[in-house]
C-alpha cells in the first residue's frame, strides 16, 4: 500500500494526459486562458509535472538500489511516455504527432526533476524526535 502512495499519482496523471491526448480538439477541454501560451510551453509544463511525480515515485516508492538513479529514471520514463503519447496522437482524428512536442516533453520532464531535486535539498530537514522519557 505504501508504494501506491507514490505510484498512484503517476498513474492518475499519466491517465489524464492520455485522456487529453485522445480528444480530437483538446482546447475544448482546457480553460480559455491556456490558449495564450505556446503549445511547447504547455507540453513542457505538463511533462515537468509528470517528471516530478516520476522522481518522487522512483525516490521513495522503490527499493534502495533504485534511489540513486531516481532522477535519470524519472526523465527517461517521462520522456518515453511523451514519445508514446506522440505516437498515440498520430492515430487520433484532428491530431498530429510532432517530434518538437516530444522534445518539449523531454525538456519539461528534465526541468521538473531538477526542480523537485532542488526543492528537496532546500527544504529544511525536520529534527529527529526526542526519545520519550518514562
Instruction: Give the residue-averaged pLDDT of 116-134.
Output: 74
Instruction: Give the residue-averaged pLDDT of 36-44.
Output: 81
Q: Is the pLDDT of residue 30 over 70?
A: no
pTM, two decimals, is 0.83
Could you tell me the residue ranges of all domains in the chain? 4-24+37-122
Confidence of residue 24 (pLDDT cuts 50, 70, 90): confident
Instruction: Give the residue-averaged pLDDT of 63-75.
Output: 94
- Residue entry with cell 509544463: 45
Amino acid at each position: 500500500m505504501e508504494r501506491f502512495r507514490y505510484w498512484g499519482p503517476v498513474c492518475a496523471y499519466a491517465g489524464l494526459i492520455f485522456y487529453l491526448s485522445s480528444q480530437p480538439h483538446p482546447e475544448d477541454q482546457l480553460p480559455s486562458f491556456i490558449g495564450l501560451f505556446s503549445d511547447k510551453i504547455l507540453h513542457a509544463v505538463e511533462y515537468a509535472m509528470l517528471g516530478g511525480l516520476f522522481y518522487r515515485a522512483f525516490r521513495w516508492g522503490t527499493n534502495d538500489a533504485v534511489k540513486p538513479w531516481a532522477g535519470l529514471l524519472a526523465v527517461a520514463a517521462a520522456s518515453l511516455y511523451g514519445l508514446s503519447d506522440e505516437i498515440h496522437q498520430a492515430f487520433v482524428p484532428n491530431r498530429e504527432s510532432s517530434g518538437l512536442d516530444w522534445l518539449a516533453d523531454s525538456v519539461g520532464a528534465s526541468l521538473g526533476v531538477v526542480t523537485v531535486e532542488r526543492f528537496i535539498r532546500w527544504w529544511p530537514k525536520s529534527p529527529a524526535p526526542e526519545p520519550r522519557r518514562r
